[in-house]
Amino acid sequence: MFVNPPTGKITALLHAAHVIAIVGLSPDPGRPSHRVAQSLQRFGYRIIPVTPAGGTILGERAVPDLDHLSDALQPGEHVDVVDVFRRPEHVGAIVDDCIRLGIPALWLQDGVVNEEAAGKAVRAGIFTVMNRCMFRDRAALG
pLDDT of 50 reads: 98
Tens of pLDDT along 40-76?
A: 999 999 999 999 999 999 999 999 999 999 999 999 9
Mean pLDDT, range 103-131, rounded to an integer: 98
- On whether the CB atoms of residues 126 and 104 are closer than 8 A, the answer is yes
Examine residue 13 and state whether it is found in any structural domain, yes or no.
yes
Examine residue 111 and state whether it is found in any structural domain, yes or no.
yes
The pLDDT > 90 percentage for the chain reads 98
Q: Which domain holds residue 19?
A: 7-140
| 127 to 7, 35, 44, 81, 120: CA distances (angstroms) | 13, 24, 21, 9, 11
The secondary structure of 36-87, three-state, reads: HHHHHHHCCCEEEEECCCCCEECCEECECCHHHHHHCCCCCCCCCEEEECCC
pLDDT of 56 reads: 97
Indicate which CATH number applies to the domain containing 56: 3.40.50.720
Mean pLDDT, range 33-40, rounded to an integer: 98
- On whether the CB atoms of residues 3 and 119 are closer than 8 A, the answer is no
Examine residue 81 and state whether it is found in any structural domain, yes or no.
yes
pLDDT of 131 reads: 98
N-terminal to C-terminal alpha carbon distance within the chain? 31
pLDDT class of 108 with cuts at 50, 70, 90: very high
Examine residue 2 and state whether it is found in any structural domain, yes or no.
no
The pLDDT > 70 percentage for the chain reads 100
Specify the number of domains making up the chain: 1
Examine residue 1 and state whether it is found in any structural domain, yes or no.
no
Examine residue 62 and state whether it is found in any structural domain, yes or no.
yes
